[in-house]
Structure 1
Amino acid sequence: MSISEVYNGEPADIAAARRLAAELFSGLTRSGRPVSATVVADVHLVVSELVTNAVKHTRGLFGLDLRVADDVVEIMVWDTSEEPVAAMTPDPARVGRHGLEIVTALCGGFKVAATPKGKRITAQMALRPVA
């Protein structure tokens, strides 16, 4: 199962991306694959962090692709910025800029790939079915 959307780069796109994630999980539930509330919340957080970065650091279009296969949800955000991406060293005194630290903590890391017109950031999270 997969779902995708392209956004204009507006702050409201962050909430729209979370709604897209909710739509994915609603589809999984309808197909008989309910997922734990913890996983749903964690995926929403990862989506929020990656999409927030796209809104803040990209001018113009970006996209979100969510895919479920083999009990893993793949969260992929592409944008048109060539600005490098890297998690900062953890610093509890820093205010803000913890998004990729959060993604790393929840997903065990992320991958960045250059594209002809920007980059693609991909993170994966294991799905845990409802017990």
Structure 2
Amino acid sequence: MTTTHADATTVRSTTAVAGARESARTFLEGLRRPPVAPDAADTVVLVVSELVTNALRHGGGTCTLDLTAHPDTIEVAVHDASPQPPHVRTPDLHGSSGGFGWVMVNRLARATAVTSRTCGGKTVSAVLTR
């Protein structure tokens, strides 16, 4: 099994999440065998956006994005400094405070996991169909 990694460290800024999405697109475009289907690529980018946004908002202001390509899947892993796992919130249907993200990620992914890091913080990962 061959895996390819793309790492990007992101600091909270007005362009941080856009940069993470661009890193994901570049990573996916570089995969040739097998290539990633356009719908699957859009899903990966959406999950990257959500996990990075949550890490920056709730995880201490910095995070590291790690993308791994497996033969049939793409793993998105976001590492941050907070030990607090993501949790389901009641969606804000009339405001701008969100609440849809973790549910969405869990519905889009084959599997999700939250693991504590020995150096502190956590890793939130999602495995998506390639």
Q: Counterpart in 2 of 1:105?
A: 107
Match of 2:11 in 1: 8
Give the alignment's TM-score, normalised by structure 1.
0.84
In structure 2, stretches of 5+ residues that fail to align are none
Identify the residue that residue 88 of structure 1 maps to in structure 2. Answer: 89
Aligned residues of 2:113 and 2:125 also touching (Cα < 8 A): yes
Task: Give the conservation status (yes or no) of the 8 Å contact 1:9–1:54.
Answer: no
Superposition CA RMSD, Å: 1.9
Aligned length, in residue pairs: 124
Query: Do the aligned partners of residues 69 and 108 (structure 1) sit closer, same or farther apart at CA in structure 2, a change above 3 Å counting?
Result: closer
Give matches, 1:18-97, under 5 Å: 18-28=21-31, 31-88=32-89, 93=93, 95=95, 96-97=98-99
Q: 1:98 to 1:109 in 2, by over 3 A?
A: farther
Deviation per residue, 1:34-87 (Å, 9 max, x gap): 221110111110000000101111334310000001211000000001223223
> Alpha-carbon deviation of 1:32?
4.2
Q: Which moved more, 1:12-21 or 1:104-113?
A: 104-113
Q: Which runs of 5+ in 1 are unaligned?
A: none
3-state SS, counterpart of residue 107 of structure 2: helix
Give the ranges of 4+ consecutive aligned residues of structure 1 lying more than 6 Å apart after TM superposition: none
**TM-score, normalised relative to structure 2:** 0.85
